[in-house]
Structure 1
Amino acid sequence: MLFYLFAILAILSAAYVVLTRNLLYAGFSLLITLLSIAGIYVLLFADFIAVTQLMVYVGGVLVLILFGIMLSSRVHNKSVLSESVNKVWGTLVAGLILVGLSYAILKANVASLPWLQTSEVDVLGNQKSRVQSIGIKLMTDFVVPFELASLLLLIALMGAAYVATEKQNA
């Protein structure tokens, strides 16, 4: 039940980030999205990724974006609004990428990878390495959330770079 609550909250707030023109509201909605994704990680017992999500994305990137928006929101007495874009083409391209990546992930036979087969033997002998097991889990069971988190970081950095640049009038 909690998973569905976090999933619906993440989807709705992410849709609001994309569809709103007010950058400050989009930033706060991104905060809700990132927190609900961290909640999903906790429900998946991926505590390391959940803490990383909170520390890196919410604690660092999002705070930087929100401060950048709030400090530059009133430039020459005009509020910062995003420009209208062709949402049909963006939705179509995003949908095609989602279908292609979903197909590739579902058809991939991750269990038969050679480096995963050799990782059954512990490299440290009788000592157990938590980092090794986290690395194996990140590249097998949690590869999709890990890649989604890296994609969110990339989008956050692109948004911060866009907000930080001044618009050049032609």
Structure 2
Amino acid sequence: MNLVQVLFYVMGFIALASAIFVAATTNLVRSIFMFFVTLLALAGLYVLALADFVAMTQIVIYVGGILVLILFAFMLSGKETLNIMAQQRGKFISIKKLPALLLAAFFLIVMLNMIFKVDADNLDWVKKSVSYKNVVLPTSPTTENIGVNLMTKYLLPFEAISILLMVALVGAAHLARKGARE
């Protein structure tokens, strides 16, 4: 086992463990900070996958933007709201959460099915990509490829992310105005 594999397993374990902690904890402050750890571990996984631009985007947008907005909303929320949330301590698995648990189980089954049944090296589009030499090598300039793909092939998801960020900013402004009126 080489160093890259060890780093992958360590980063994967950190990402999974912190994500489980975020979902399982009842303390909102600890949950927010462990979400920060989860996002940084995902950025580390992107670096290991040679997606340096995606890793930096992960850090700048999600860690630097979205997480700060979550902290901002937490700090502006009233003490009464936080007390109500603290009193709603329910079981981790309850009948109210059954639809979400079923959906999560369905996605887990689909992911495991894809992992165990799909041979990624023998897919048609992978073979065509390799035969056309349309692969990204570690020495390839990734920012040029990303720039071309963002403005052609992935323009719709790129615009959807910009709308998501705009909605987050409008929500933060609404929370700030709501806090100023009280």
TM-score between both structures, scaled by the size of structure 2: 0.57
Question: Which residue number corresponds to residue 91 of structure 1?
Answer: 101
The count of corresponding residues between Structure 1 and Structure 2 is 140
1:58 maps to which residue?
A: 63
Partner of 1:24: 29
Is contact 1:10–1:33 with CA below 8 Å preserved after alignment? yes
Structure 1 residues 76 and 47, CA gap change in structure 2 (3 angstroms): closer
Single out whichever of 95-104 and 75-84 deviates more from structure 2: 75-84
Decide whether aligned partners of structure 1 residues 13 and 73 sit closer, same or farther in structure 2, where only a CA change above 3 A counts.
farther
Identify unmatched segments of 5+ residues in structure 1. Answer: 123-127, 139-149
Measured against aligned partners, the alpha-carbon deviations of 1:109-132 in whole angstroms (never above 9, x if no partner) come to 795249x75xx488xxxxx98567
State the Cα RMSD in Å. Answer: 4.3
| Counterpart pick for 1:68 among 73, 93, 110 | 73
CA offsets 1:42-67 (integer angstroms, 9 cap, x no match): 11211011001001110110110011
Equivalent residues in 2 for 1:2-41 (5 A)?
A: 2-41=7-46
Q: Which letter maps to 1:40?
A: L
Radius of gyration: which is bigger? 2
- Range with greater deviation from structure 2 (102-111 or 27-36): 102-111
Residues 22, 82 of structure 1: 8 Å contact kept: no
Q: Name the structure 2 match of 1:147.
A: none
Which 4+ runs in 1 deviate beyond 6 A?
Answer: 135-138
> What is the TM-score with the length of structure 1 in the denominator?
0.60
Structure 1 residue aligned with 2:113: 103
- Is 1:112 matched up with 2:124? yes
In the TM superposition, what is the alpha-carbon distance from 1:85 to its structure 2 partner? 6.5
Percent sequence identity over matched residues?
A: 35
Between structures 1 and 2, the one with greater helix share: 2
List gaps (5 residues or longer) in structure 2.
1-5, 135-139, 151-160
